[in-house]
Each structure stands twice: as structure tokens, then as C-alpha cells.
Amino acid sequence: SQTGQTNTNNAKHVISNRLVVSGTIMFDDDNKMTDASVEWLVSPPIRGLIMPDSVTISVANLNTFVRTTNFVIPPNSNMDAGTSYAFTLRCTLSNGKVSGSALTVRTNAPPFPGEFVVTPTSGTELNTTFTFFASYWQDDDVPLVLEYAFGYMSSEGDVLVTRSRLEDEPSASMLLPAVGADFSGNKVTCVMFIYDALDANASAHFDVQVTVPVGQSGKAKMDSLLSVVERMLGPIEQDGRSEEHT
């Protein structure tokens, strides 16, 4: 008879990383004159992944009755977040004996949805202070460590992060420009990103109305813009990180 054993660490798998599942096959003296067909199986199937072909081993030609094989999943594969995958190493001998071993790997998932609100729901450009607040977001990692970033969408649809990631800081206050004054009825879409300890992230949106103050001078608007820039640069300089979202 023979036994199979698959090995990897017990931590959750981050899909953006490579995954290596290692298996060891051990043959005993009773089977040293047989051939063995070795194959990997995975359930549920990983979309777009080409499974390795089965390999035939002539046990009599082995220098040792122990054979190790690896199953490699490339980074950024089509594994689903928050899903348990069963990897099975199966060995079939030419005498009909079959044995195998399975290992379950769970992929990391982003934080679970909570609430994201912005108050007040309306105000004036670069004058009203809007407060962003996230609550009731959860993650299955222990201990629970979440980081929050906040910003808004520009008139071109790009996300501008004005409060970079901070741990356990689920709120922020900022001034907002009237990016929607010309085409969307003064609507400004506020954005929140929330990250777990393994860097998986989720996002949420909240719309507010931001109007242009009547009779605002060019100098007053420039002073307000400089104030916003200073608020944006402060957190970035503090934690030394820059962020990009697409």
C-alpha cells in the first residue's frame, strides 16, 4: 500500500500571491515492482486554470520509495474570494490499488459590508465640512484589524483619496469641491475603501450635494483649495504611503 500527504501552511491564501501545494507519495516494498499514476484534483474547479497532466511513475526505477510533487497556482488566478478549495493528490497503482490525500485551502475575502454615511448631505464648495463615517464592517480574521481610506470621485470619474489608509480610524472630515456643479445636479460621490489585515479591500459610495457659493471670489476659492491640499498632504506625509485606485 501507499499513502499520500499534502502540505501547505494553514493561513488563508491571498489570491494575488502564488500558491504552492506540496504532496508526498510513499511506496512500500509490496509495490516496488508496480507502476503508479499520480494526479492532482481540485474542487471546485478554478476558472481558466490548466490542470497538470497525470504522471506515470515506475516505482522500480526510483532511488527512494518517496516521491514529492508540487501543484502551483499562479498569482492573480481566478480563484474566488472567501472560498474553500480542496486539493487532492491521488495515486493509482497498476495493480488497481488507489489512495490519496486532500488538503483544504481557503482564500481570503474582503471585509463584510457595513454602513458608510456622510453628513451633512448637502453643503457649499470648500466651505462645508463633511464628515465621513464607516460602521459595522467586519472581517473573519482574528484579531480584527481594519484600515480605512476616504475620498471622492472627480468629474472625470477618477477616485481621489484625500484621507489615506489609517488603522482603526473609521471617520474623517474634509471639504469638498463642487465637481458635479456643471453636469450632475451638484452631486458629489464620496468613496470609502476598507482593508483587512491581508490587504483585501471593499469599497462603498455615498452621494452628497455640493453647490458653488454665490459670489465667491477667485481669491477665496484659491485659499479654500490650498486648505484642501494641506489636508490631503498631511495624512500622506504622516504614514509615508501613496495610494492608487483604478
Mean pLDDT over residues 211-222, rounded?
Answer: 66
pTM to 2 decimals? 0.72
Sign of CA dihedral 109, 112, 113, 118: negative
pLDDT tier at 187 (50, 70, 90 boundaries)? very high
Mean pLDDT over residues 226-239, rounded?
Answer: 52
DSSP string, 57-123: EEGGG-SSSEEEEEEEE-TT-SPPTT-EEEEEEEEEETTS-EEEEEEEEEB--PPBP-EEEEESSEE
Instruction: Return contacts of 167-172, CB within 8 angstroms, 24+ apart.
Output: 170/133, 170/134, 170/135, 170/137, 170/146, 171/131, 171/132, 171/133, 171/134, 172/131, 172/132, 172/148
The per-residue pLDDT for 229 is: 57
Mean pLDDT over residues 170-196, rounded?
Answer: 89
Of 8 and 38, more confident: 38
Of 3 and 114, more confident: 114
pLDDT tier at 215 (50, 70, 90 boundaries)? low
- Give the integer Cα–Cα distance in Å for 202 and 132: 16
The per-residue pLDDT for 160 is: 92
Instruction: Dump pLDDT digits (tens) for 49-58.
Output: 999 999 988 8
What φ, ψ does residue 136 adopt, rounded to 5°?
A: 65, 20
Task: Identify the residue whose cell numbers are 465637481.
Answer: 179
The per-residue pLDDT for 60 is: 73
Instruction: Dump pLDDT digits (tens) for 126-175.
Output: 889 999 999 999 998 877 889 999 999 998 889 999 999 998 999 999 99
What percent of the chain has pLDDT above 90?
55
What percent of the chain has pLDDT above 70?
78
Instruction: Return contacts of 204-207, CB within 8 angstroms, 24+ apart.
Output: 204/113, 204/116, 204/134, 205/116, 206/116, 206/117, 206/118, 206/132
